[in-house]
Amino acid sequence: MPKAIVVGAGIGGIAAAIRLRAKDYEVLVLEANSYPGGKLHIKKINGYRFDLGPSLFTMPHFVDELFQLHDRNPKEHFQYTQKNTICNYFWEDGTRFSAKSEEDEFVKDASQVFSEPEAHIRKYISQNQKKYDATASLFLEKSLHKLGTYLSKKTLAAILQLGRLDIFKSLNVTNKKAFKSDKLIQLFNRYATYNGSSPYQTPGIMSMIPHLEMRYGTYFPKGGMHQITSSLFGLAKEVGVRFSFEEEVEKILVENGIAVGVQSKKTKYSADVVVSNMDVYPTFTKLLLDQKQPKKVLNQERSSSALIFYWGISKKFRELDLHNIFFSENYEKEFEHIFDEKNLYHDPTVYINITSKEEPNDAPEGHENWFVMINAPGNHSQDWEWLKKQSRTHILNKLNKILGVDVEQYIVSEFSLDPIEIENNTSSYRGALYGAASNSRFAAFLRHPNFSPNIKNLFFCGGSVHPGGGIPLCLLSAKIISDLVP
């Protein structure tokens, strides 16, 4: 039986291991941390349960598919419910909008709240669907770095439509062309943050992201986001994948241009296939230091990071749901600070995720567990303790003004996570949440491929390589690998 070693037990690494087992590989996953999941982790404190990382769950069929691959019924191992409300949005002038997942309801409500003709909104949604349908097979489902990808009829059709996919204009310009309402433009601009980019720089093709939420829905996994990790980790072990935790890999072993195994801090392992689920930057600069470095890839601008406060709140807020956004009054300035100045803006957009809305046991009775996040620059040696202190004040000022209460008096438990900690805990270079940023029209092509062009039998998965960050794309990266591995 051929052997495969996966470096890193993040969600992409676990998925790759499950797929390699289905191809009859003997699979060993080596993880430096004491737990699986990477960013998709958990913490319980003072009666509150918090998902530490990703909080949005879409396209659950990619998780189901992994169970089906091994003839398991997904529903017996992993359950989830669809949300009727995608997100609640708040502005300081009192405007509030509850975005519904059902398209007709969304269009009707958005037209009323933002005084935008329904026809404009429907046209925008329709164009987004066409963008996705035209490009999914090229940008998401296959390797961009194999000639065969470009020889299919679907791919050739997509290439012929590039001029209509808004690749040559920014997302903000695309949205301003579609709408007159500044608030609706801002609402759709915020989808750039789904890949850690700026709406004023990322190409307009990213407008297909909201289409995915409407087409496939948003969901909440029973037990919280960490249940994605737990269920797939359980499946992997059940089908024979072996895991070794607290075992850091020091080097990927290469002989005559072929990956032949790894050296960990404990011992040496031989393998027929090596998969790195580690961020591609430290993969090369630490594990492949004696190999040719892909300088263009490693020098790419990194995605945004995050500053997150985890608050136990001794009150229930009826106006809040699972996902909530409190918008900055100057969105463009906020992104200038993040990407150009590597700093935090004094008026940040605040995202609050409250899983106790779906799982009451995630907080004590009458309480809520708030995951409070703002977009942040990567770690460039800023004074993060000072920035955290400042940002906490700015966040509370915004929430107090919009919600009309003194939020701080209800904070009874608290801890935080900054880009330094994200970088240290997950080996994500500079604490970037999505690897490279997508702030250029060529970003998708500049991401590192899922295979090594120079080292045979070496593959890459996870959010720092093609097709990108976020749970669905990490799972797709594992699927692309399974198509590439012999």
Identify the CA nearest to 461 among candidates 276, 252, 233, 294. 276
Q: What tokens were used for 112?
A: 């009323």
Structure confidence at residue 45 (pLDDT) = 97
Identify the CA nearest to 194 among candidates 174, 177, 218. 218
Judge whether 271 lies within some domain: yes
How does DSSP classify residue 320?
-
Question: Do 8 and 276 touch, CB atoms closer than 8 A?
Answer: yes
Judge whether 258 lies within some domain: yes
Domain that holds residue 132: 106-216
Structure confidence at residue 150 (pLDDT) = 41
Same domain assignment for residues 125 and 195: yes
- Residues of the chain falling short of pLDDT 70: 136-164, 442-445
Same domain assignment for residues 440 and 294: yes
Same domain assignment for residues 137 and 197: yes
The 10s digit of each residue's pLDDT in 404-444 is 999 999 999 999 999 999 999 999 999 999 998 988 876 65
- Three-state DSSP class for residue 299: coil
Same domain assignment for residues 262 and 188: no
Last residue of a domain, one of 153, 186, 216: 216
Tally of domains within the chain? 2
Question: CA geometry: angle at 358 spanning 396 and 213, to 5°?
Answer: 85
Per the listing, tokens 């091994």 go with 70
Structure confidence at residue 209 (pLDDT) = 87
User: Which string of b and e fits 401-440 if b means at least 16 CB within 10 Å?
Assistant: ebeeeebeebbebbeebbbbebbebbbbbbbbbbbbbbbb
Same domain assignment for residues 211 and 123: yes
Last residue of a domain, one of 216, 236, 268: 216
Structure confidence at residue 427 (pLDDT) = 94
Radius of gyration, alpha carbons of the chain: 22
| Beta strands 3-7; 273-276: pairing state | parallel
Same domain assignment for residues 110 and 194: yes
Judge whether 370 lies within some domain: no
How does DSSP classify residue 75?
G
Same domain assignment for residues 114 and 186: yes
Judge whether 328 lies within some domain: no
Same domain assignment for residues 212 and 229: no
Is the alpha carbon torsion for 394, 397, 398, 399 positive or negative?
A: positive
Structure confidence at residue 223 (pLDDT) = 95
Could you tell me the CATH number of the domain that includes residue 209?
1.10.405
Judge whether 357 lies within some domain: no
Same domain assignment for residues 157 and 239: no
Same domain assignment for residues 200 and 124: yes
Could you tell me the CATH number of the domain that includes residue 458?
3.50.50.60
* Backbone dihedral angles phi then psi of residue 142, each to the nearest 5 degrees: -135, 165
For residues 37 and 54, give the distance between their C-alpha atoms in angstroms, rounded to a whole number: 11
Judge whether 275 lies within some domain: yes
Judge whether 364 lies within some domain: no
Judge whether 17 lies within some domain: yes
Give 411's strand partners.
313
Question: CA geometry: angle at 162 spanning 160 and 165, to 5°?
Answer: 135
